[in-house]
Amino acid sequence: MKLKKGDTVMVTIGKDKGKKGKIEKIFPKIGMATISGVNVYKRHTKKRDEKMPGGIIEHTRPLTIAKLALICPKCGKLTRVGFIVAKGEKERMCRKCKQKI
């Protein structure tokens, strides 16, 4: 996986283009991720009974990972993720500053 939970990303395509946020949850099987504060829908719910008072529920919808670009935590630039293999382990690397991320 090129991206992981906690990464700061920017949306590059679509109606949320230019928005930034942290990855809240990642769904590797479907290639999607939810980003805090991006693609949030508010749903108004009606009062059903005393236990469910109703109100506004915020729901973050996942976005396709292909629409996201990583913001490097080291250099702060929009970058693509590269990989380096060190001691048999794959590590992520920023293509801009060449640092491990």
Tell me which residues touch Zn ion (CB under 5 A).
Answer: 72, 74-75, 94, 96-97
The least CB distance from residue 75 to Zn ion, in Å, is 3
Compare residues 25 and 98 and give the one whose CB is closer to Zn ion.
Answer: 98
Report which of 36, 51, 100 is spatially closest to residue 74, judged by C-alpha positions: 100
**For residue 68, how many other CB atoms are within 10 A of its CB?**
23
Compare residues 59 and 100 and give the one whose CB is closer to Zn ion.
Answer: 100
Residue 95 has which token pair? 């293509």
Report which of 5, 1, 2 is spatially closest to residue 25, judged by C-alpha positions: 5
What is the end-to-end Cα distance of the chain in Å, rounded? 13
The least CB distance from residue 77 to Zn ion, in Å, is 6
The least CB distance from residue 98 to Zn ion, in Å, is 7
Compare residues 75 and 81 and give the one whose CB is closer to Zn ion.
Answer: 75
